[in-house]
Amino acid sequence: MLEIFIFACLHALAQGVQVADVVLSCSFIEEGGGMTGAHFIRSPATVVLRDLPMNSDLSPETITPYIPPVTPNADDIIFEATASSVEIPEAESLLHADCNEQEVICELSRYIPRGTKPDSVPVYFIASVQLEGGGVGFTLVLQAIANENAESNTASLIQSKLQLPLSQWGTLITEAVFVVFSRTPSVAVPIGENTVLDCGYRQRDIPTEQNLALEWRWQYRGQGRTILDMKETEAGTLVEVDRDGVSANSTLLVRDGNASLTMNKLKVSDEGTYICTINSGPFQTQQIVQLNIIQPPRVFFSENKITFQDESPRRLSCHCLHYYPLDVKVEWFSQLPSETESISLTEGVSSSSHRQHSDGTSIHQSGGILLDDSGDADFVNTVFISSFKIGSEELNGWHGDSP
């Protein structure tokens, strides 16, 4: 994990839209060569996103402006990207990441658009920015802008690794030309519900409809397949689906850049990683959305009421049905009517293993021994079960009284 280091400078454009400059600490990734070509080299890099539109009412006093190095260094990798040409929805969440103790993974590498060669001009780069713990995730294509000094008599500083001319303050000037994003890169949905996996794109130069394609691919534990494939052609829209109840809106895709996937009647088998890939003109970029299936259990007990006629032990079982996933916890407690503190009875309670139901959910049984040893007919012995947890959800169980 790479921690995000954010500096920003708020200012207003002529039309009154509040914008900010955001600085990200990233890694520049390149192939290390060798016999296999599987080795990668990571180098520290910085990305300065200029003129990001902001919806939040941010005070300039709370933002630290980015200050370029006093002395430009040819070994520093600093990308200065104008981001106003393509919209990145909810980009203001990057400004709050540090305060919210969120981490950001930011990685860059060279990018070769379709139909171009590695040594073609202009040069392109691709940046992936993922905000951990909620918030927008996006993949951004950056186009290097010709340095004005290259056409003058002033010698430009050349970046040692990229071999590209730098600005007078030591940055590589680029412009954002294409972005694929998701405002909710991770969602959790109950079984049987419907959901929408959010994905969209923005492009500086709008292509013709015939050059636009969308693919949604599902992956889970080494398995994978294409769920939806949509192409815009001269003959119209071609759509292929490999799961009932999934769809994307071709009109919204072309008009608004909305590539979201609608999924109906979710099942356990739908859980996994979904890859949204957009092909538009020379660019092909993707964004990942994680779908988690959750299902709280149905809880019932072997008896609705426990009555002790003598000192013989009685067994009470707790049955938990149709829950998902398996990270569950069952706890038993006993509490006297006159007491405010409960006593844990969890230790020594027998439990069955998780058994899988035909729908992919699980079944679990937990049993305990109840004893009435008070010797007092008026004594009330209260036993309750708490709690069965799935994620952050807690279900409180039955309690029985014995006269």
- pLDDT class of 6 with cuts at 50, 70, 90: very low
- Asked which of 130, 161, 178 is the last residue of a domain, the reply is 178
- Which segment, 28-32, 144-148, 370-374, is predicted with the most confidence on average? 28-32
Whole-number pLDDT of residue 295: 86
pLDDT in tens, 298-320: 877 777 666 667 667 777 777 77
Alpha-helical (H) ranges within 226-374 are: 250-256
Prediction pTM value: 0.81
Q: Are 399 and 304 in contact (CB under 8 A)?
A: no
Using CA atoms in the order 149, 150, 155, 159, what is the torsion angle rounded to 10 degrees?
Answer: 100
pLDDT of residue 10: 47
pLDDT at residue 353, as a whole number: 67
pLDDT interval class at 58 (50, 70, 90): low
Question: 162 and 121 share a domain?
Answer: yes
Q: Kindly state whether residues 234 and 317 are assigned to the same domain.
A: no
Which segments of 184-222 are extended strands (E)? 186-190, 195-197, 200-203, 212-220
Phi, psi of 269 (to 5 degrees): -70, -10
pLDDT mean over 119-129: 94
CA-to-CA distance for 26 and 14, rounded, in angstroms?
31
For residues 166 and 61, state if they share a domain.
Answer: yes
Does 153 lie in the same domain as 28?
A: yes
* 218 and 166 share one domain: no
Answer for the pair 343, 325: CB distance below 8 angstroms, yes or no. Answer: no
- Whether residues 34 and 88 share a domain: the answer is yes
Contact 77, 162 (CB under 8 A): yes
Q: What is the pLDDT of residues 269-286, one digit of tens each?
A: 999 999 999 999 999 999
The dihedral sign for the CA sequence 101, 102, 108, 113: negative
Same domain for 303 and 280? no
Of 256, 274, 294, the residue at which a domain comes to its end is 294
Residues 129 and 199 in one domain: no
Query: Are 309 and 238 within one domain?
Result: no
**Which of 58-67, 208-217, 268-277, 375-384 bottoms out in mean pLDDT, i.e. has the lowest?**
375-384
CATH, residue 318 = 2.60.40.10
227 and 327 belong to one structural domain:
no
Picking from 74-83, 147-156, 171-180, 281-290, which range would have the lowest pLDDT averaged per residue? 147-156
Q: Which of 72, 54, 74, 71 is nearest to 62 (CA)?
A: 54
Residue 60: per-residue pLDDT:
60
Band (366; pLDDT cuts 50, 70, 90)? low
Q: For residues 197 and 259, state if they share a domain.
A: yes
* CA gap 249, 141 in Å, rounded: 24
Assess whether pLDDT exceeds 60 at residue 244.
Answer: yes
Q: What is the DSSP string of 299-323?
A: EEES-S----SSS--EEEEEEEEEE
Range of the domain at 254: 184-294
Give 37's pLDDT tier (boundaries 50, 70, 90).
low
Q: How confident is the model at residue 13 (pLDDT cuts 50, 70, 90)?
A: very low
| Confidence (pLDDT) at 38 | 61
Band (pLDDT 50/70/90 cuts) for residue 191 is: very high
pLDDT above 90: residue 174: yes
Q: Is the pLDDT of residue 231 over 70?
A: yes
Confidence bin at 208 (pLDDT 50/70/90)? low
Q: What are phi and psi of 250, to 5 degrees?
A: -65, -35
Q: Is residue 402 over pLDDT 60?
A: no
Residues 264 and 140 in one domain: no
Q: Which of 243, 271, 294 is the last residue of a domain?
A: 294
Q: Has residue 385 got a pLDDT over 90?
A: no
Residue bearing tokens 């799935």: 390
| pLDDT tens figures, 87-118 | 888 887 887 777 777 888 999 999 999 989 98
Report the number of distinct structural domains present in the chain. 3
Nearest to 239 by CA among 256, 255, 227: 227
Contact 88, 202 (CB under 8 A): yes
